[in-house]
Amino acid sequence: MVTDQATLTVAELLKSVDLALVAALPGPVWVRGEVTGLRRTSGGAVFLRLADPEVDGQVLEVFARGRVIEEIDRVLHSSGMGSLRPGIEVRIQGTVGLSHRQSQLRLSLLAVDPEFTVGRLALDRARVLEQLGADGTLRANKALPVPLVPLRVGLVTSRASAAHADFLDQLRRSGFRFAVRTAHTTVQGEAAPQLLAEALDRVAGEPVDVIALIRGGGARLDLAAFDTERVGRAVAAMPVPVITGIGHEIDWTVADHAAAIPQKTPSSAGEWLVTRVGDYAGRIGTARRLIWEEARTAHRRAWRGLDNAVEGLATVRGALRGQREMLDRQSEDIADGSRAVIDHQQRLIANLDEWFSTVGVDSTLGRGFALVTTSDGDTVIRSAGQVGPGERLLVRLADGTVPVVVEER
């Protein structure tokens, strides 16, 4: 079908659209979205896609060249954000135009609002912390008992980084025999949260007392991986206490909130371990010193007791010697007294013998006396009244016995 409508060439159409865009959006506009597919060329140009975080598939091509990107990088670094990188939400300013080569809308980047990104990061961190706090995740790792002597350390970091070297140097200079098992991981970038969680899981399977999660200082965006829910939950799920040393002293990430022992820097994390082991070693040293002093006191007390016992034994020995001497004297006295008593008794017996020989029956009969008894000799007749006429008696004389009969009294 033939019409009178003019037919445009492709170039003419693109030029018309370009003019319409300039008419509709004559000046720079602010646009927010999530950075994806960022790449830098050797010539200093930057190309990226800005994706709408709320509508899938809506992507805007963005580019910047030369001094513009240099100034943007300077502003971002001075604000503490660091360089542009994928995965962050930004608010950028640019002019809208049409790429004639690709026939697509694109934005020529002029500026980036660092405060917007910092605010979004803060909001995201607050949201993650609220979620982890609501279900008790933030309390899980803190509830684990901290070992008295954490010498077996699982280390999650970027191997050969400054943070890695600083941390190990702290342990090495302590002189304690730390055993460190390192799980290497990327600590920034889009893949960092997943890789950090996987590294934590790997080292959790090792025989360790604690796990140290460390990263050196950097821009705020460099630490974004440690503010993710995935890393926060991974830290909370560790079977042993986690020590964090992430960034600078002013940085405080979700991982720090979830860890049992948050420290400010990698070096301070190492210092905490050294202090913990040193405190125990100090208590052991104190206990050893107290035991030694108590043993020495007991030893001295025992020696004093022995000295007193020796002195007591010497006193007892002297007392025993005196008792022995006294017993010896008493023995001599008893012997002398016994001999005197025996001599006295012997003299007394001799005198009695002499007396009995003088007053005895035989000597009396020898002097002319007679002993009258009954006829059986059992009863001595001492008076005439004891006998009657016709009673038989015996009369004992010095040279024999004569029987007699009483005729009359």
- Which two structure tokens, joined as six digits, stand for 18? 């370009």
Please check the confidence at residue 1 and state whether its pLDDT lies above 60. no
Q: Which tops the pLDDT comparison, 1 or 353?
A: 353
Residue 237 has pLDDT above 70, yes or no: yes
Q: Are 65 and 103 in contact (CB under 8 A)?
A: no
Question: What is the average pLDDT score of the chain?
Answer: 85
- Rounded distance between C-alpha atoms, residue 322 and residue 324, angstroms: 5
Out of 2.60.120.20, 2.40.50.140, 3.40.50.300, 3.40.50.2300, select the CATH number for domain 139-278.
3.40.50.2300
Top-ranked range on mean pLDDT: pick from 183-192, 241-250, 305-314, 363-372 = 183-192
| pLDDT tens column, 378-396 | 888 788 778 888 888 888 8
Q: What is the pLDDT of residue 132?
A: 92
Is domain 10-112 annotated with CATH 2.40.50.140? yes
Domain residue limits, the chain: 10-112, 139-278, 363-405
Q: What is the pLDDT of residues 207-234, one digit of tens each?
A: 999 999 999 876 667 788 898 999 999 9
What ranges make up the beta strands (E) of 171-317? 179-184, 210-215, 242-246, 261-263
Between 175 and 78, the higher pLDDT residue: 175
Classify the phi-psi angles of 347: left when phi > 0, otherwise alpha if psi is within -120 to 50, otherwise beta. Answer: alpha
Q: Provide the token pair at 236.
A: 């909370």
- Average pLDDT on 29-35 reads 87
pLDDT digits (tens, 9 = 90+) for 306-351: 888 888 888 888 888 888 888 888 888 888 888 888 888 888 888 8
CB 107 within 8 A of CB 59: no
Give 226's contacts (C-beta < 8 A, 6+ positions apart).
187, 196, 213, 215, 246, 247, 253, 254, 255, 256
Rounded to an integer, the average pLDDT of 123-129 is 83
pLDDT exceeds 70 at position 100 = no
Q: What is the DSSP string of 257-292?
A: HHSSEEESSHHHHHHHHHHHHHHHHHHHHHHHHHHH
CA distance 262 to 253: 10
The three-class DSSP label of residue 304 is: helix
